[in-house]
Amino acid sequence: MESINKEGKKQQVRSMFNSIAPRYDFLNHFLSAGIDYSWRKTAIKILKKNNPEIILDVATGTGDLAIEAMKLNPKKIIGVDIAEDMVTIGQKKVKNKKLDKIIDLQVGDSEDLHFEDNYFDAAMVAFGVRNFENLEKGLTEMNRVLKKGAMILVLEFSKPKKSPVKQVYNFYFKNILPGLGKMISGDSSAYTYLPESVGKFPAGEEFLKILQKTGFSQTKQKPLTFGVATIYTGQKI
């Protein structure tokens, strides 16, 4: 990604996800040894206490978080993603699972959402905010479409701080994952971009401050699996 900086980040991210789309689900579960399933499960359990009926899944990709959110028994889940090929695969999965009456996956940009103000009971995003071209703009848009008092939930990679997990993680992320990812996906940029983007992401307290700046209160963070990922939550003011 660093090497193709002539295009905007959004276009680069979109092309990259379009190119890995057919292998995305396999890679996700394989490279995380299936832990990503349990992270999405934990995220949805957190949303349960608010009983959201109309849910937005931003950067929905192939729809895994939206599908997990069916456990909340909602009336509607709308997922948006800029990469058409990810959305197409997600739509097929949703249809095969006969969930297409509730889950509607659409091509759309999180930084310019085509929904009215104060519409959703919850907005969530898994492994997406790190990819936004303009993080604050994306979060402000999520805030705009949420009802007052509704919850935002962000699941994102973070970096473990404690030894020896920190060293093992750094070695895996820098030395193993890019090679494995390239071998399986055939895309050399995608899995060097992953550690780079995680490294640059304002995780922890810094991200909570950004949530507050973009109109959320009651901000909290919950580290998962030794801090390899974190769930952030907040409430629209």
For the CB of residue 171, give the shortest distance to ligand SAM in the complex, in Å. 22
For the CB of residue 190, give the shortest distance to ligand SAM in the complex, in Å. 9
**CA Rg value for the chain:** 17
Nearer to ligand SAM among residue 40 and residue 236 (C-beta): 40
Per CB under 6 A, 61 contacts ligand SAM: yes
For the CB of residue 164, give the shortest distance to ligand SAM in the complex, in Å. 27
Pick the stretch among 96-104, 108-116, 141-149, 178-186 that binds ligand SAM (CB under 6 A): 108-116
The answer for residues whose C-beta is within 8 angstroms of residue 91's C-beta and 6 or more apart is: 63, 100, 105
Pick the stretch among 45-53, 76-84, 144-152, 158-166 that binds ligand SAM (CB under 6 A): 76-84
Residue choice 128, 160, 227, 234 for contact with ligand SAM (CB under 6 A): 128
Residue choice 68, 85, 109, 156 for contact with ligand SAM (CB under 6 A): 109
Nearest to 81 by CA among 26, 121, 126: 126
For the CB of residue 187, give the shortest distance to ligand SAM in the complex, in Å. 13
Question: What is the rounded distance in angstroms from the CA atom of residue 59 to the CA atom of residue 112?
Answer: 12
Q: Are 183 and 29 in contact (CB under 8 A)?
A: no
- Chain contacts with ligand SAM (rule: CB under 6 A): 10, 13-14, 17, 28, 59-61, 64-65, 80-83, 86, 109-111, 126-128, 131-132
